[in-house]
Chains A and B, each alone.
Chain A
Amino acid sequence: MQSKIITAENLVAGYPGNIVWRDASFDIDRGEFVAIIGPNGAGKTTLFRLLLGLLQPISGTIKIFDTQPKRGNPLIGYVPQRHLIDSEMNVESLELVRLGFSGKQWGFSISKKDRKAGLAALEAVGSLELAHRGLNALSGGELQRIFLAEALVSNPELLLLDEPLSNLDMRREKDLLQLVNNVVRSRNVTALLIAHNINPLLPFLDKVLYIVNGKVATGKPKDVLTSERLTDLYGVPVEVLRDSRGKFAIIGIEDYHGDQI
């Protein structure tokens, strides 16, 4: 089994008349947990759209599992960025997860295969007790777990998670990341996760892919996460600190008012 899951060469992405980023060459290995960071509008979701086959590259090549991306690749599990589920959406969680498994099949299903798979996926994300709760009754963290189960139910080898951490408090953030990390390690799944705040991700990451000013670069977290590169990345002063245990913390200096008091 080849170890490179995604390879991009001189990739240019965007929409007609609007290039979002260019000259991207990178690769991602099987079983890596990768964070995608960059300012708003830098083209993080655009990368996902390319990988999902929803958007064609303007030029260059991108290969995923050694072939061109195509829509409906069963090896990909996708969790799009979502706004809150409509408060009227009184549909039980299990139903959504089941559709992740069998939603593509025409006609009614008589077999209970999708039900079994759905329950197994919910168990895998530690949310079996939410199976019969309505989506409208779930908290943000619970919803993200359901969405993850929906993506996992078809046993994908690559997970694309678009800002699953937005709207979560620190505790839920950590729980969800721990969960994704467990999935990545135990199933040897590759995960790409778009995030704004990289701090909670740092303990888990194998690689950081950052997109800024029309450029894409990858690296090990410790190489990428330096004050100089991040300042360059966001265009505002950023400082990378290390605590006594060698853990990173990243702060925007603009936000840090401690010295002014």
Chain B
Amino acid sequence: MTFSFNLLADLQQMFQYQFMAHAFEAGTVVAIIAGIIGYFVVMRRSSFAAHALSHIGFAGAAGAVLLGISPVYGLLLFTSVGGSMMAALGPRAAHRDVQIGTVLAFMLGLGVLFISLYTGYATEAYSILFGEILGISSSDVLLTLAAGLIILAVVAVVYRPLLFASLDEDVAEAKGMPTFFLGIIFMLLVAIATSFAVQVVGVLLIFSLMVTPAAIAQQLAKRPTRAIIISVIIALIATWLGLFISFYEPYPVSFFITSIVFIFYIFVRFVYRRIKPLKVYQANSQEIETDR
């Protein structure tokens, strides 16, 4: 396949291949949910917990492979149980780096054991660890879509209480909000999002879709709704562009996705911030004028 500068023709050619069409479909859903959930992960400062959850999922995925079922079910089971336990251990549990790290390493080790018991060692482990979006089946796409819709529906319902509990847990608790219950809901959302995002970037690279786009967005927008939209857009651009490039270049999709996200991050962190402050200040004073 060669790249032409006629993008439409390129895309038409690309979508003739079913695996590319599936990859784009699943990738789109995953980018949207990862972008949204990622914002709450960053807000709650639970990025390490989310990272750990994907490693816990690795053991589940490997176990599922060993049993001859789709890794996604193992991921869902392990991340949901692991996530609920983290939430149940207490609201501050997400910040217990050492404990989480200990469980994380153990789970990764367990995954290695399961994988070694399974004869197809290398390829399966590789695809769980680093993602294998190009090998996604049409039933996986449907399952991903279903999970995406569930996540969107739940987020639409819990949006404000979850945001409040994430921003200001003590006041939310005093106001009688079910912070414990919200913590569990949140971790379950992370669990589901993680389980499906693993298909795209794999267990080890989950940060690039679940955390980094949201962290970038948070630098760019002070209003949660805007930040969530930006986070989704960054995740989408990275996924689409990554898939697009990988169609022409023989390197892993997850490498391209993580690199694009990283470039965004570097740009915002070091370039954008230097040129921005003055403009922000001006925009703010205008907004205040209109409020009065």
A binds B: yes
Cα separation A88 to B268 with both chains bound (whole Å): 14
Residue from the set A91, A92, A100, A106 with the largest chain B CB neighbour count within 10 Å: A91
Report if A103-B175 is in contact (Cβ < 8 Å); known contacts: A108-B156, A108-B160, A131-B288.
Answer: yes
Size band of the B side of the interface? Answer: 20 to 34
B146-186: which residues lie under 8 A (CB-CB) from chain A?
156-161, 163-165, 167-168, 170-177
Cα separation A71 to B170 with both chains bound (whole Å): 12
- Selecting from B57-65, B85-93, B216-224, the interface stretch reads B216-224
Contact, CB under 8 Å: B288 / A128:
yes
Size band of the A side of the interface? Answer: 35 or more
Contact, CB under 8 Å: A119 / B291:
yes
Min C-beta distance of A150 to chain B, whole Å: 7
Partner of A80 from the list B158, B174, B284, B288 (CB cut-off 8 Å) is B174
Find chain A residues with CB under 8 A from B45 CB.
86, 88
Find chain A residues with CB under 8 A from B163 CB.
99, 103
Find chain B residues with CB under 8 A from A52 CB.
174
Cα separation A105 to B157 with both chains bound (whole Å): 9
Min C-beta distance of B284 to chain A, whole Å: 5
Cα separation A151 to B168 with both chains bound (whole Å): 12
Cα separation A73 to B175 with both chains bound (whole Å): 7
Min C-beta distance of B152 to chain A, whole Å: 12
Contact, CB under 8 Å: B158 / A106:
yes
Contact, CB under 8 Å: A132 / B174:
no
Find chain A residues with CB under 8 A from B164 CB.
99, 103-104
| A90 in contact (CB, < 8 A) | yes
Contact, CB under 8 Å: B222 / A103:
no
Cα separation A53 to B163 with both chains bound (whole Å): 23
Enumerate chain B interface residues (CB-CB to A < 8 A): 42-43, 45, 156-161, 163-165, 167-168, 170-177, 215, 218-219, 222-224, 284, 287-288, 291-292
Enumerate chain A interface residues (CB-CB to B < 8 A): 52-54, 70-73, 76, 78-80, 82, 86, 88-92, 95-96, 99-100, 102-109, 119, 128-129, 131-134, 150-151
